[in-house]
Each structure stands twice: as structure tokens, then as C-alpha cells.
Amino acid sequence: MKIKLENNKVFFENKGSKKEIHPFWLRERIDGVNFVDRGTQQRLFDPTTLKKNIEIKNLKLSNEFLEVSFNDGTKTKILIHNILKEFSNVNDIKSIERIKWNSSLKNLNNYEFNDNIFEQKKMYEALINFYKFGFVIFKKVPTENDFLVKFANSIGSVRRTNFGEFFNVKSKPNPNDLAYTSLPLAPHTDNPYRNPVPCIQILHCIENEVKGGYSTLVDGYTVTEELKKDYPDFYKILTEIKVRYQFIDKDIFLENWAEMIQLDEEGNFKQVRFSPRLDFVPLMEKEKLELYYSARNKISELYNSDEFRIEFKLAPGDLLMMDNHRLLHGRTEYNANEGNRFLQGCYIDYDSTEGKLKHLKKKFNYEV
């Protein structure tokens, strides 16, 4: 990709294709102190009020910059790198390559907490690994005064649900969710019945005195890629059929229709939903239902396989942050009579981690 100048016009060349860059596009990106607020990077002008016949008067191209003067008397100096980045539609976060993993994963991406971590390079590194692996664990996080909420809000903003700003995970009488029992929890994603589904779950261990109750994680990205390779018909139907996910409590009714494996606009992995106690398959032709049920059984078998699951015990002060659109999580059974097992949880969305990562990138002049 490169920028070329011809007859007072700017052209973008890529793989034999040559296209003129509209003068107005360049005029919108004028970034002098009179045109862009340095703190917020928001325009100080409204481009819809500019005259339509914006033309280029003078151009100068160097290795790093494009300098442009316009017929309305304004001028700007734009980094060539920034122009090429916009034309390549590079998303800093999407450019972080996911790393597939299974039960052989040994590095659990642990980072020791300190009071200043939210503005340190350590947090930048932790967030990069979060996007690579789908989870990260912070050690020695304070356990008093619902510190979980302060932690989450230091990255972004807590996503409140009907469970509240945060929720306590421990066995209790008459629970409205199996999470609040000592029973084992098979691999699942949280809240598939919401639209949109919360992106990130944070679990903070306050107490853990029991022998069991191990946390489990499965990489839905790895499993669905395996399914795609070995059982393409199963993969195809799970990416096409929307099923109904439902949650009913005494004062709430939540419902969402979505694919078990959701792809993005380019046909690549975007999100998994899996919670067999909450899904309802729509009525279809018998042959299609046969295929769907076989596909659901196969992916359930893979999710529950020892081949893809990692297990670890959260200690008091451990805080697990996991991608609820990518990972499935669960828990092994424990005996509540052995002692207390108490975790606190909450949700945040991708704009929180993306915003924090981009802020730290800018602060330390890093490349994602």
C-alpha cells in the first residue's frame, strides 16, 4: 500500500488498484489546534457545515507525512501511516491473534495485583494476553469491601443485570441458579438469554476452604475450530440455526434467539453460546432436527472432554477475568460442610477492556 500524488490529486494504491482519495475526506481529518481538541480528539468544527466544493490547492508528500492546503484557506499535515491504517481497516483489537489452547495449557496468565496496576505496563500486557487466550488471572487482589466493583470500574464500567451490580457465588437455600449450589457445573457460557450477552465475566475469590470446587475453563474458539475441521455439517448447522434461550425468575422473563456458534460478517468466529438447561431448539423438519441434535451432542461432548478443559483452584485474592463470548466456564463439585467457598462476580463489556488497552497503548506509545 502507498500514497501517490498526480495533478494535485492524492491516490491510494494497493495490489494493482489505484483510487483517488476524496479531498473532503482529507479536509475532515485536519487536526490543527483550532480544529481538534487535544484532550478528547473531538472535532471543533462540524464537517456538515463546510462547503461541498472542497478542492486541493497544494500538496507535498514526504516519507512520513502528507501536507495538504485546501481552497478554503486551511491546511493540514497527516501521517502517511494513519492514512494507510484507515484504508486497511485495521482494528487494533482484532489484530491481536487468538491463540488456540486445550488441556495442555500450563501458563495461566497470572499477574500480581498492586494499587497502581491499572495505569502500568503490566495491565497492558495482561489485557493483550486476555485477548490472546480469553482469560487472565490477577493474584492478591484485596478481598474486603466488595473490591471487585472497584477493580471492574477501574478498567471500564460494571454491566448491571437482574442479579445486581455484582453477585455472590455461594450455596444458599432456594437458589434461582445452579451456580448458588455446591453441585458441579458443566462448561457453559453465562446469560445467553440476554441481548446483548455480557462480554466479560469477572470472578473474585473471597474464601475457598473446600477440597473440591475447582474452576474449569474451555476455549470455545478451539473447540469450534475442531468441529469445523472434523464435522463440517455439524458446524454449519450450529452456525445457521437460531435457538431460543430463556431465563425466568419470579419477577423477570428474559429471552434471546441466537446461534450456538455465531460468526462475524466475514464468516469468522465471533461468539459461542452454550447452556443446555436454558436452550430451546425451534421446530424444524425431522431430518434437520436429527442433524441439529447430533451436532449439539457432538459439541457438548467436545466441551465436556478432558482434552479441552483446564482445572485450577482459585485462592482467596485470585481474580479471574474471562471472555464470556469465547470461553465456557464451570466448577467441580464440593462439600459445603467442609468450609466456605465464596466468590463474587460481575460483568463488563468489551468497550471497557478495549478502551483501557487503547489508553495504555497511547500512554506507553506501544503497538498492539
Burial of 92 (0-12, 13-18, 19+ CB in 10 A): middle
119 — pLDDT class (breaks 50, 70, 90)? very high
Dist CA 12 CA 3 (whole Å)? 5
Higher-scoring residue by pLDDT: 307, 181: 307
R_g over Cα of the chain: 25
- Does residue 165 contact residue 346 with C-beta atoms inside 8 Å? yes
pLDDT at 283: 96
pLDDT at 174: 62
Mean pLDDT of 39-66: 91
The 10s digit of each residue's pLDDT in 145-204 is: 899 999 999 999 999 999 999 999 886 556 556 666 778 899 999 999 999 999 999 999
Delineate the domains of the chain, giving CATH numbers in brackets.
2-87 (3.30.2020.30), 110-364 (3.60.130.10)
Mean pLDDT of 87-94: 73
pLDDT at 141: 98
pLDDT at 87: 77
List, in sequence order, every residue forming a beta bridge with 18; answer none if it has no partner. Answer: 13
pLDDT at 320: 98
Alpha carbons within 13 A on the beta-carbon side of 101: 25
Residues 6+ apart with CB under 8 A from 184: 330, 331, 332, 333
90 — pLDDT class (breaks 50, 70, 90)? low
Dist CA 260 CA 243 (whole Å)? 7
The 10s digit of each residue's pLDDT in 260-284 is: 999 999 999 999 999 999 999 999 9
Q: Where are the alpha helices (DSSP H) in the chain?
A: 23-28, 80-87, 121-133, 147-155, 220-230, 232-240, 286-303, 350-364
Alpha carbons within 13 A on the beta-carbon side of 209: 8
pLDDT at 270: 98
Nearest Cα neighbor of 281 from 219, 273, 220, 327 is 273
Higher-scoring residue by pLDDT: 258, 3: 258
| 340, amino acid identity | N
Mean pLDDT of 313-330: 98
Residues 6+ apart with CB under 8 A from 114: 120
Q: Where are the beta strands (DSSP E) in 107-194?
A: 110-112, 135-139, 167-169, 185-188
Nearest Cα neighbor of 237 from 260, 256, 258 is 260
pLDDT at 86: 82
C-alpha cell at 92: 487494533
Entry pTM: 0.86
C-alpha cell at 269: 468466529
pLDDT at residue 52 is higher than 90: no
